[in-house]
Amino acid sequence: MEQLLPSLDRQLRILVAVSGGADSMCLLELLRRSDLDIAISVAHVNFHLRGEESNADEAFVREWAASHSIECHVMEADTVAYAKSNSLSIEMAAREIRYNWFNALKKNHSYDFIAVAHHANDNAETLLLNLVRGAGIDGIGGMKEIDSARSLIRPLLGSSRQEIENFLSKNAIPYRTDHTNLESDFARNRIRNQVVPQLEKINPSVVQVLNRDMKYFAAASSILEELAQQKRVLLCNGQLNSEVPLIRDIKSTIARAYILKMLKPHHQFHISVEQLLKEKEHAYWLHQFLKECRFNSAQTDDLAGSLGNDTLKRIVSPTHTAVKERGYIKVYCNSILALEPSMVIENLDKPFEARSACGVLVRLEMLPAGSVDKVPVGETDIRLVADADQLLFPLVLRPLQAGDRFSPFGMPGVKKLNDYLSDIKLDNILKGNVQVLCDSSKKDSPGNVVCMPGLQISNRYRVTDKSRMCLVVTLR
C-alpha cells in the first residue's frame, strides 16, 4: 500500500468504491486498519438491477459506514434506462455511471484518490475478455495498480480472490454476495465461471501466470508506443500548405487554392502510400496511426489491403474520415462531411453571405464592371467574376448534383461538373462539399449553372467588354 501512495505533509483523502461484496469490503477494511495517514470515505451505487437485493446492499453499506463513523455517499441509478438511452450494454452503462459519479465526487470533495477493489482474478479475466474482443496489445497489458491520469488506485491488484476470501474469513468481516456473479449471462461472468476453471485444470497457477505476462505485455506496449511516435514523425504529415507534395503536385492553381481553403480546417494528417509501403510492417503502423482516430482494426485492415492498387478507398469512424486516393491516405475530421442545404437568393440589392456547414463563407455582391478591380481581395480569398447582365433571378446556391453539366470558362462544349472536378484533381472527399450557383434562365444544367464558387465560372456568364454589372463571388 505504501508504494502506491505519495508522501505528503498532510493527510491523504481517499474515496473507496464499495459495492458491499467481498472484494470491496476487504479493501475497505485494509484501508481502515492501515497505519498510513489517510482519511477514507465510501461511495456506493445502487444500480437497481437486482430488486430488493440491490436495496439490501445499499442498506448494508450505509450501516457499516455509520457504525464506523465514516462518510458515505450513495447514488441511485436507473441503469436500464441509461443503457437504453446511450445504446450501451448493461455492463458498460453501469461502468459509465459509477466512474462518472466517482470523478464528480473526487472533484467536488477534493479527494486525492479513488480506490477500487480490482484484484488479480479481475485482471486475468479482463485480459481474456480483451483477447476475445480483439483489443490488440494495448488491451492485454492489464490494469495498473495506480492510474495517475485518473487518480485511481487498485491496492488489491496483486491479491487473488482466494486470498481476499481468506482474509475476510480470518477477520470475520461481513460482506454481501451478489448471486448474479454465479450466473453466466454476462461475458465477464462466462469468463469467470466457465473459462478460467478450465484453464486452471491445465495450469492451477494460470491467474498468477497471466498477471505476470501482462506486465511483459505492458512493457512491450510501452516500447512499441515509443517507436510508433518516431514512425508518426516520419510518415504522418500534419501540415497542409502549398509546399507539401500533396498540394504542390496539383497542376491547377485555382484547384490548389480551393483545396487548401476547404480542407485545411479539417485536415488531421496525410500519409504517402509510397513511403508507408517501404515499412516492413506497414499494415501495423497504419493501424497504430488510425486507431487514435477511432478506426477499428477491420477498417484499417481493409485500407491496408488496398495500398497496392489505385482504387479509391474511404473509411469513416465516429470522429474522422480517411480517404486513400492518388498516392495518399488523407485523414480528416468528420466536420468535412457536413452539407449545406439549398438556398434561394431572390435578389442582390445588398450583398448575400452564407457560411457553409464546413466553415467557408460564400459572399455574392453586384458591382459595376469598372469598380470590380478596386475592391480589395483578402490574402486567402478566392474570387470569381460573372456577367450579371445575363442573370435571371432568383438564384439558387445548392450542393453539386449527379448529372450537373456546364460550359467551363474559355472552353468549347459542355462537360459534366464531376468530370471537370476529376480533371483538376479535386479531392474526392471535397466533391460532396462543392456548391453550384444557378440562375433561373433554364430549368436544368448546363444552361443555368453560373459557377462553382471558388472554382470556375461558366463560359456562358463570362465577363466581356459589354458587361455593365458584374456578379462577384468570393470564397473566404
Q: What is the mean pLDDT of the chain?
A: 91
Q: How far apart are CA 137 and CA 31, in angstroms?
A: 33
> Do residues 125 and 191 touch, judged by C-beta distance below 8 A?
yes
Give the amino acid at 102. F
For residue 437, what are the CA distances in angstroms to 263, 357, 358? 21, 16, 17
**Per-residue DSSP letters for 175-203?**
----GGGGS-SSHHHHIIIIIHHHHHHH-
Characterize the bridge pairing of strands 320-325 and 12-17. Answer: unpaired
Q: What is the dihedral of CA 420, 422, 425, 428, to 10 degrees?
A: 130
Give the span between the Cα atoms of 395 and 397, in whole angstroms. 7
Q: Which helix (H) or strand (E) holds 382?
A: strand 382-387
**Burial degree of 256 (CB within 10 A; 0-12, 13-18, 19+):** middle
How far is it, in rounded angstroms, from Cα 476 to Cα 466? 28
Report, as ranges of residue numbers, the positions in the chain whose pLDDT lies below 50: none
Q: What angle do CA 21, 24, 25 make, to 5 degrees?
A: 75
CA separation, residue 128 to residues 159, 197, 203, 469 (Å) = 18, 13, 15, 73
DSSP sequence for 93-115 = HHHHHHHHHHHHHHHHHT-SEEE
| pLDDT over 70 percentage in the chain | 97
Sign of CA dihedral 43, 46, 50, 55: positive
Q: Please give the pLDDT value at position 31.
A: 94
Report which of 203, 205, 187 is spatially closest to residue 125, judged by C-alpha positions: 187
Q: What is the pLDDT of residue 140?
A: 86
Q: Please give the Cα distance from 433 to 357 (Å, whole number).
A: 9
The residue among 261, 469, 242 whose CA lies nearest residue 369 is 469
Residue 450 is predicted with a pLDDT of 95
- Is the Cβ–Cβ distance between 117 and 23 less than 8 Å? yes
In this structure, the dihedral spanned by the alpha carbons of residues 173, 176, 178 and 179, taken in order and rounded to 10 degrees, is 90
The answer to whether residues 236 and 163 touch, using CB atoms and an 8 Å cutoff, is no
DSSP helix/strand/coil, 21? coil
Digit-coded pLDDT (tens) for 121-141 = 999 999 998 888 877 787 788
Work out whether the CA dihedral 408, 413, 418, 420 comes out positive or negative: negative
Number of H helices, E strands in the chain: 16, 22
Compute CA distances 16 → 31, 72, 73, 74, 114, whole Å. Answer: 9, 10, 10, 12, 6
Cα 282-226-235 angle, rounded to 5 deg: 40
pLDDT at 181: 66
**Spatial distance between the Cα atoms of 380 and 475, rounded to a whole number of angstroms:** 9
- pLDDT value of residue 358: 75
Q: Which residues, listed in sequence order, are joined to residue 321 by a DSSP beta bridge?
A: 316, 332
The pair phi, psi for residue 397, each rounded to 5°, is: -105, 115
Q: Grid coordinates in use for 77? A: 441509478
CA distance linking residue 23 with residue 45, whole number of Å = 15
